[in-house]
Amino acid sequence: MKIAIVCDSFKESLAPLDVAEEIKAGFSRVFLEAEYLCLPMADGGEGTVEALVQGTDGELVHCSVTGPLGEPVQAFFGVSGDGQTAIIEMAAAAGLPLLKTEERNPLHTTTYGVGELVLAALERGCRHVILGLGGSATNDGGAGFAQALGARFLDAEGQELPPGGAALSRLAKLDLSGVDRRLSGITLEGACDVTSPLTGPQGASYVFGPQKGASPDDVTRLDEALTHYAQILSDQCGRDVAVVPGAGAAGGLGAGLLAFTGAILRPGVEIVADQLRLAERFVDVDLVITGEGRMDGQSAQGKAPMGVAQVARAQGKPVIAIVGSTGDGVDGMHQVGIGAFFDTVPRPATLPEVLRQARENVRRTAENVAATLKMGMVMGSEHHLEGGVRTVGP
């Protein structure tokens, strides 16, 4: 028997490979002769760089870039094992955690450092860039990103615009003559798990602006600036990006990627699954196990276990999930290919206790799941593993 274990992190307690290794430890006590494949998984957000670096035997690169308020920050990106793919989380250079609460101001924050990370990847010779869009402190439509790559944003007097989303209301002309020519020779994918357009009530400013420090008046001002920006992009770049699903991701960085790099926006979980070659690796497995810290109704909206299950289901492989906890709507995970799911907390406990006992809880739950599977196989037939999985469903 060959078992693939592909897990996201249990937030604040276990990294993806730690979860996978504990599940393996529990299963190994029951299925002693099984072959195990352990891989980290992510959904394009936080943890994606780590997952793809580990999953492809790559490396982590540290560098200093421009932070969201113009100050230098220490950021990072990953390079795949073959040296061809850079994995970047935009939040590493322009994320909310880089700012104190009182410093949040999307009128002035910039994605300039994100562009610098892309330039650093180009210097490494990468031909493929995966850029995770999430956790941003910005609302500049990707203008700062484009400026770092050589674009100039000019007002009516021909002066460079200052950083931030508010200044886009004064944008009169784009000068793209200085954009780094190496961009035309690479593939850039935006890992995006939201479908927000750039502007309007469901757009970047109204939906995400308040959590970035925008007041109601600021939100209106930012949306008007992005609306004007979108019109300039349409007139001068020939790209109507305002209503493209995902254009509003990361404060409109999605729109900037589309307009200035010809990037493709895809669900992050699909991109990660492709990079880890899950479809290829699942061909000869008998069972797939996945997991995350909390599984609920939102897990079916592009989270890591859903992505794993979709790849496995396409090949007719049974899937079970071992998770930290379950919440409302979790039953919907059956519809995306999760045959059964199990939470790992055995009794009421405080959060510190749950975190401290995470390894033991995962390992014990995995052993019990494996024992139940083996009982089903003995009672039925060793040739009907999928039926065994169904017998332990909730």
Query: Does residue 294 lie in a domain region?
Result: yes
Q: Are residues 341 and 310 in the same domain?
A: yes
pLDDT at 391: 38
Last residue of a domain, one of 239, 268, 297: 268
Q: How far is CA 5 from CA 27, 54, 211, 363, in A?
A: 10, 14, 35, 13
What's the CATH code of the domain at 164? 3.90.1510.10
Query: Does residue 350 lie in a domain region?
Result: yes
* Burial (Cβ within 10 Å: 0-12, 13-18, ≥19) of residue 200: middle
pLDDT tens digits, 202-259: 999 999 999 999 999 999 999 999 999 999 999 988 888 888 999 999 999 999 999 9
Q: Are residues 70 and 183 in the same domain?
A: yes
SS3 at position 43: coil
Q: Are residues 84 and 186 in the same domain?
A: yes
Asked whether residue 123 carries a pLDDT value surpassing 80, the answer given is yes
Query: Does residue 292 lie in a domain region?
Result: yes
> How is 128-157 classified by DSSP, letter by letter?
EEEEE--SB---STTHHHHHHTT-EEE-TT
Q: Are residues 132 and 258 in the same domain?
A: yes
Q: Are residues 88 and 210 in the same domain?
A: yes
Q: Are residues 236 and 365 in the same domain?
A: no
Asked whether residue 386 carries a pLDDT value surpassing 70, the answer given is no
pLDDT tens digits, 129-162: 999 998 999 999 999 999 999 999 999 999 999 9
pLDDT at 381: 57
What gap in Å lies between CA 200 and CA 203, rounded to an integer? 5
Q: Are residues 66 and 213 in the same domain?
A: yes
Q: How many whole angstroms from its chain centre is CA 210?
A: 22
Tokens of 267: 């669900």
Query: Does residue 159 lie in a domain region?
Result: yes
Q: Are residues 62 and 198 in the same domain?
A: yes
pLDDT at 11: 78
Averaged pLDDT score across all residues of the chain = 92
- Percent of the chain's residues with pLDDT above 70: 96
Residue 182 is given by DSSP the state G
Query: Does residue 246 lie in a domain region?
Result: yes
Query: Does residue 273 lie in a domain region?
Result: no
Asked whether residue 393 carries a pLDDT value surpassing 50, the answer given is no
Q: Are residues 256 and 183 in the same domain?
A: yes
pLDDT tens digits, 6-62: 999 987 789 999 999 999 999 999 999 999 999 999 988 888 999 999 999 999 999
Query: Does residue 218 lie in a domain region?
Result: yes
Q: Are residues 13 and 71 in the same domain?
A: no
Q: Are residues 368 and 345 in the same domain?
A: yes
Rounded to an integer, the average pLDDT of 290-311 is: 88
* Domain span at 379: 2-41+278-391
Per the structure, the count of domains in the chain is: 2
What's the CATH code of the domain at 294? 3.40.50.10350
Q: Are residues 54 and 37 in the same domain?
A: no
Query: Does residue 245 lie in a domain region?
Result: yes
* Burial (Cβ within 10 Å: 0-12, 13-18, ≥19) of residue 334: middle
pLDDT at 106: 97
User: In what side-by-side order are the strands of the sheet with 59-66?
Assistant: 59-66, 72-79, 85-89, 128-132, 187-191, 264-266
